[in-house]
Chain A
Amino acid sequence: MSYTGTFRIWRGDADGGALADFRVEVNEGEVVLDVLHRLQATQTPDLAVRWNCKAGKCGSCSAEINGKPRLLCMTRMSVFERDDVVTVTPMRTFPVIRDLVTDVSFNYAKAREIPSFTPPADLAPGEYRMAQVDVNRSQEFRKCIECYLCQDTCHVVRDHEENKESFAGPRFLMRIAELEMHPLDVADRVPAAQEEHGLGRCNITKCCTDVCPEGIKITDNALIPMKERVADQRYDPLVWLGRTISRRRG
């Protein structure tokens, strides 16, 4: 059931690079990452690929296959025809390091900008009580494997390098939503979501949801509910009117 497939793989580094064609054996039941490993073992021992668990659970092997952000270990060869050329490139939103490996430090920097879980001051360990219905929403977001495919596909930063400073990206706006909906988090995260983390830049075109390998409904369950909470606080005409009046009095 083996055949020889054609792979077009981007090779290079920050100084430049190009797509190179390879003919490589493909066997039944394999995923793209299997084929890249065969390339490493037989033709290109120094082909740089980041990977880890190979089971879709760690989110290391993010790349773009035929132009779409995907996990290499979760893309089965059976979705292609035998004579398809499979094009593999690094993620195009982050700086490239070498071949298929990119510098994803942007995401770690953004993670640090989100204030951490803030429990009530007087609650001792072991005394936490939470209802399952209250943790369901945040648990969905905590399924995130941090593959950063949502960050990669989001046009706000993919197409506009200058927005990287002011935009946390779907993964970290979702982190804010996770904490905002955490039943025991006492911090108010709504104003900062809009003012510091760029929630307003999201135009809910849902590419983050489309590429999420965990199937998290990022847009519907995290981003839009956050936008609604912002609307509660800032764009509710009645609230605005009340604030304006009280400010004048003050």
Chain B
Amino acid sequence: MTTTARDTDGRGVGGRGVDSPGRAAIEARTLRSDRWWLPPLATTVGLLIFIGYATVRTFQQKYFFADERYLTPFYSPCVSLGCASEPGAAHFGMFLPDHPLIPYAALSLPFLLLFRLTCYYYRKAYYRSFALAPAACAVPEPHATYHGETRFPLVLQNVHRYFFYAALVIAVINTYDAIVAFRHPTDGFVVGVGNLVLLVNVVLLWCYTASCHSCRHVMGGRLTHFSKHPVRYRLWTWVSALNTRHATFAWITLGTLILTDLYVALVASGTITDLRLVG
């Protein structure tokens, strides 16, 4: 048994974190023997896949409208003058200049991005995987100093709620998209596989949006006396139940967004044909 003395190998006076003076002198920075690095690695890979896919598709500026009725959520609402290339895609007018660097849904995408960026779950996910602060519990982080969310820019995480409000509006627009997609300009009411895809996607988007921590707070979490607000208490109870699955919905919706968009793109490009179920 060799004794690790203080003031050797940079411990003691110069040590920081778990090597700070006074704490138990243990050479290993972490003694975790499980595969603690796996979750942050998986998170990193997952997020990078989504970011890569979303970036490509956002600036591709084609294959976003299929069968004259399926609008991918990445292009909703389609408000660029460029949306004219797909008649019927723009439900709310076209007024943004058509430019390769301006996404067709430039009104909604920044808010959706910020909604997810400031989401309490995604914050945990990328603080752990990208910032390694910490990568896993009881695994030392590499940073010399740490201020958390007390300073610019991270202090802006506190405005999450306003992106939640924006996301609500966008969820309504996505819902509208999914509903109008049942009406084919020439065939009338139809149901295709694409309709089901859009529908499932929008339901899950609602689950993610409604399970948001800010939503939980606004619905009733801010109240001290639930007993005086029975309706809001009921809402809070529902949102709380959803909220326990917020992380699950966060990942599921990343997946369904990609799948929905991919489906629309594949149909729009003619790679596959949408299967008609009704009409």
Residues of A bordering B, CB below 8 Å: 10, 12, 14-21, 64, 66-69, 87, 89-90, 92-96, 102-103, 131, 133-134, 152-153, 155-156, 158-163, 180-183, 198, 200-207, 210-211, 220, 224-225, 227-232, 234-237
27 A-B pairs whose Cβ atoms sit less than 8 Å apart in the complex: A10-B26, A67-B30, A68-B137, A68-B138, A69-B137, A69-B138, A93-B18, A95-B22, A95-B23, A96-B22, A134-B227, A153-B137, A158-B17, A158-B138, A158-B140, A159-B18, A159-B140, A183-B225, A200-B155, A203-B154, A220-B243, A225-B221, A227-B158, A228-B221, A229-B217, A234-B158, A236-B161
Give me 7 other A-B pairs in contact (C-beta within 8 A), A92-B26, A160-B145, A161-B16 excluded: A159-B16, A200-B148, A203-B123, A220-B244, A227-B158, A230-B158, A236-B161
Q: Are B148 and A203 in contact (CB under 8 A)?
A: yes
CB of B236, distance to nearest CB on chain A (Å): 10
Query: When the two chains form the complex, which single residue of B4, B138, B149, B243 contacts A67, counting CB atoms closer than 8 Å?
Result: B138
A15:B226 contact, CB within 8 angstroms: no
A16 to chain B, nearest CB (A): 4
Which among B22, B30, B140 has the greatest number of chain A C-beta atoms within 10 A? B22
Residues from chain A with a CB closer than 8 A to the CB of B244 are 220
Whether a CB of chain A sits under 8 angstroms from the CB of B113 is no
Contacts of A94 in B (CB 8 A): 23
Which of chain B's residues have a CB closer than 8 A to the CB of A66? Answer: 31-34
With a 10 A CB-CB cut-off, give which of B25, B123, B160, B243 has the most chain A CB atoms: B25
B25 and A16 contact, CB distance less than 8 A: yes
Q: Is the CB of A201 within 8 A of B141?
A: no
Q: State in angstroms the CA–CA spacing of A201 and B227 once bound together.
A: 33
Determine if B20 is an interface residue (Cβ-Cβ < 8 Å).
yes
Interface core residue of A159, A161, A163, A183 (most chain B CB under 10 Å): A159
Is A224 within 8 A of B213, CB to CB?
Answer: yes
Name which of A10, A17, A155, A234 has the most chain B CB atoms within 10 A of its CB: A155
Complex alpha-carbon distance, A87 and B30, angstroms: 11
**Contacting residues of chain B (2-58) with chain A, CB-CB under 8 angstroms:** 2-6, 16-18, 20, 22-26, 28, 30-34
**A154 to B199 Cα, complex, angstroms:** 41
Select B4's contact among A16, A155, A236, beta carbons within 8 Å: A16
Contacts of B271 in A (CB 8 A): none
Q: Nearest A residue to B3 by beta-carbon distance?
A: A18
A34 to chain B minimum Cβ distance, whole angstroms, is 21
Could you tell me which residues of chain B, from 91 to 147, have a CB within 8 Å of some CB in chain A? 120, 123-124, 127-128, 133-134, 137-141, 143, 145-147
**A186: shortest Cβ distance to chain B, in Å?**
10
Residue of B nearest to A16 (CB): B5
**Distance of A152 Cα from B238 Cα, bound (Å):** 33
Specify which chain B residues have a CB less than 8 angstroms from the CB of A68 in the assembled complex: 32, 137-138
B144, closest chain A residue (CB): A160
Decide: A90 and B148 in contact? CB cutoff 8 A: no
Tell me the bound Cα distance from A120 to B140 in angstroms: 45
A81 CA / B25 CA spacing, docked (Å): 27
Assembled-state Cα–Cα distance A180/B221 (Å):
12
Q: Are B160's CB and A89's CB within 8 A?
A: no
Which residues in A have their C-beta under 8 angstroms from that of B186? Answer: none
